[in-house]
Amino acid sequence: MQAIMSHQASLKIIFIFCLLSSVQALCENDSTPKIKFRTEGFAETYFVYDFTSPKQEFRPAFYYNHHVNNQPGLNLALFRFAADYSRFKTSIGVMTGSYASANLADEPNWSQHMYEANISLQLLKNKQLWLQTGIFNSHIGFESAIAADCFTLTRSLAADNSPYYETGVKLNYKTKNEKWEYNLLLLNGWQQMPNFNRSFKPSLGFQMLYSYKKYTFNYSNYIGNEGTTGMPQWRFFNNFYLIAKPHKSVSLILALDVGLQYHAIKKNTAFWYTPQAVVKYRLTKALDLVGRIEHYADRNAVVTLPYKNAALNLFGASMNLDFKFFKSLMLRIEIKQLYNVDPIFINDQLLSRYNLSAAASLGVRF
DSSP string over 254-308: EEEEEEEEEETTTTEEEEEEEEEEEEEEEEETTEEEEEEEEEEEETT-SSS--BT
Taking the alpha carbons at both ends of the chain, their separation in whole angstroms is 29
Beta bridge partners of 280: 251, 290
- The rounded distance, in Å, linking the Cα atoms of 206 and 226 is 18
Percentages helix, strand, coil for the chain (3-state, rounded to 5) are 10, 55, 35
Residue 229, SS3 per DSSP: coil
Burial class (CB in 10 A: 0-12, 13-18, 19+), 107: middle
* Counts for the chain of helices (H) and strands (E), in that order: 3, 18
Q: Taking Cα atoms as reference points, which of 336, 326, 338 lies closest to residue 362?
A: 326
CA distances to 128, 163, 170, 180, 215 from 173, in Å: 6, 22, 10, 8, 19
pLDDT for 264: 75
The 10 Å Cβ neighbour count of residue 121 is: 13
pLDDT for 359: 97
pLDDT for 173: 97
Q: Taking Cα atoms as reference points, which of 255, 258, 237, 251 lies closest to residue 322?
A: 251
Q: Angle CA(312)–CA(355)–CA(359) in degrees, nearest 5? A: 115
Q: Taking Cα atoms as reference points, which of 204, 184, 211, 168 lies closest to residue 129?
A: 184
Residue type, 28: E
Cβ-based neighbours of 69, under 8 Å, separated by 6 or more? 48, 49, 50, 53, 54, 56, 57, 58, 59
- The rounded distance, in Å, linking the Cα atoms of 257 and 157 is 11
- The rounded distance, in Å, linking the Cα atoms of 93 and 41 is 9
In this structure, what DSSP letter does residue 214 have? T
Question: Mind listing the pLDDT tens digit of every residue in the chain (366 residues)?
Answer: 343 334 344 434 444 444 444 445 444 454 555 899 999 999 999 999 999 988 889 999 899 999 999 999 999 999 999 999 989 999 999 999 999 999 999 898 889 999 999 999 999 988 999 999 999 999 999 999 999 999 999 999 999 999 999 999 999 999 999 899 999 999 999 999 987 666 677 999 999 999 999 999 999 999 999 988 778 899 999 999 999 999 999 999 999 999 999 987 778 899 999 999 999 999 999 999 999 999 999 998 899 877 777 888 999 999 999 999 988 999 999 999 999 999 999 887 788 999 999 999 999 999
Task: State the fold for domain 7-365.
Answer: Porin (2.40.160)
CA 134 to chain centre: 17
Cβ-based neighbours of 256, under 8 Å, separated by 6 or more? 239, 240, 241, 273, 274, 275, 276
- The rounded distance, in Å, linking the Cα atoms of 267 and 227 is 14
The 10 Å Cβ neighbour count of residue 106 is: 10
The H or E element containing residue 24 is helix 7-28
Query: Do the beta carbons of residue 345 and residue 352 sit within 8 Å?
Result: yes
pTM to 2 decimal places:
0.86
pLDDT for 306: 72
- The rounded distance, in Å, linking the Cα atoms of 4 and 24 is 29
Read off φ and ψ for residue 15, nearest 5 degrees. Answer: -65, -45
Cβ-based neighbours of 31, under 8 Å, separated by 6 or more? none
Domains of the chain by residue range:
7-365
